[in-house]
Amino acid sequence: MNEKSCLVTGAASGIGKATALLPARSGGRVTAADIDGPGSENCVRNWPPKASASPS
């Protein structure tokens, strides 16, 4: 996943969070989006620097 980009919706918790974490750990650029803005920000707080949160 190095240098790949992906957008994961529903990333604040559960399956969406787990799905977003995989490419983030593999060197991909991840945008974690969720209706729960603070939840998506919390989701990526301890991730590698290429991950970002985006409330939707």
For position 14, what pLDDT does the model report? 93
What is the sign of the dihedral through the CA atoms of 43, 45, 50 and 54?
positive
Full pLDDT tens readout for the chain, 56 residues: 777 888 889 988 999 989 988 888 888 888 888 898 888 788 777 777 766 666 55
For position 25, what pLDDT does the model report? 83
For position 56, what pLDDT does the model report? 56
Q: Following DSSP, what letter does each residue of 1-54 receive, concatenated? A: -TT-EEEEESTTSHHHHHHHHHHHHTT-EEEEEES-HHHHHHHHTTS-TTEEEE
> Rounded distance, CA 56 to CA 49, Å?
21
For position 47, what pLDDT does the model report? 78
Domain ranges of the chain: 5-55
